[in-house]
Amino acid sequence: MRWLRALMCSVLAVGVAVPVVAHAQSRVEENASTDINFITGTAAVTYIGKWHQTEITRNWSGGTAVASIWGPAGSASPSDTNVPAARVTLSFNGTGVSWIGARGPQLGIAHVFLDGVQQPDVDSYTNVEVGQEQVQAVLFSSGGLAAGPHTLAIEVTGTKNTASSGYIIVVDAFDIQGTPGGRVQETGSAAVTYYGTWIQGDATRPGVSGGTFAYSYAELDPGVVPAQCNPPCEGVHTRAVFTFSGARVTWIGLTGPQTGIANVYVDGVFMTAVDTFAQDGEHLQVPLFTSEPLTAGIHTLAIEVTGNKNPASTGVHIAVDGFDVTP
């Protein structure tokens, strides 16, 4: 079984119309982490480019992993000039770090950067049968670092061993040495958690909030149930889940002639289906959903990519640009 099929990227058109954030609200970007505290040792994981989140078809650490075949523009693997090479960056506090991934007959080659300095490339190919991959394998390890903040970045190169049948790079977890140490799952400590396949860190539209946004068009990858379902949808599906504390929340996204329909959930309860189609061109920083007043405490807002669309739309893209939270 292949983990990923060849992914073809459909590029969104350039848009205009940029509103401002109301003063009574706090804007949270689509790539936000709940906390990055190098003193206490909190670690954060940030994704750029196209990643298949929540891979579940193998015995991964914590039950899931992320995988990508998306290399830089012009590489032999799938790529696009408007989508950066898939890269994951771990920010951590410690004296050593290990990247936990996988080796197999369809695995590719990754660049590795420690504190911004390129390390030897990692070839994750090994000659075993498909289905017998070496999961939870240590692909890179470095110790003896000075105590303090560090970064480890892994980037899909779009290259492979000549014997490999694919370009897949897997990130399952990270092991951190130091005080405190321990394992950090590939999901990190995020305020916004992505499930399914998303393109993150898209910077092709200067008018989006914070300079980047994330989007998905509901690809049906192995290990992910079909997104086209009537709510409530069960299983692993293409979602962006925002965890927050506040009295009201607004999803900020994009509308355009190529955008689709999303299901919206608050605290796990289906609220409505949002049609993001706009015939008159692309519009940025659009408030697409605002919740009713919420009780004090922690809440979740989930945006689910359905794969459905307005009959007039040319695509099913759903964009997440940010969230406005009212205290």
Q: Give the tens place of pLDDT for each residue, 293-314.
A: 999 877 889 999 988 899 999 9
The pTM score is 0.68
Domain 191-326 falls under CATH 2.60.120.260: yes
Q: State in Å, rounded, how far the first CA of the chain is from the last one.
A: 47
pLDDT at 33: 52
Give the per-residue pLDDT at 113: 98
Phi, psi of 79 (to 5 degrees): -160, 170
Q: Indicate the DSSP class of residue 247.
A: S
Domain 191-326 in the same topology as domain 38-185? yes
Separation of alpha carbons 316 and 310, rounded Å: 9
Tell me, what's the pLDDT at 14? Answer: 30
Residue 143 has pLDDT above 60, yes or no: yes
pLDDT digits (tens, 9 = 90+) for 192-218: 888 888 888 888 888 999 888 999 987
Domains of the chain by residue range = 38-185, 191-326
C-beta separation of 173 from 16 below 8 A: no
CB proximity list for 73: less than 8 A, separation 6 or greater: 79, 80, 81, 83
Report the topology of domain 38-185: Jelly Rolls (2.60.120)
Q: Which of 304, 191, 301 is nearest to 250 (CA)?
A: 301
Rg (CA), the chain: 20
The proportion of the chain whose per-residue pLDDT surpasses 70, expressed as a percent, equals 78
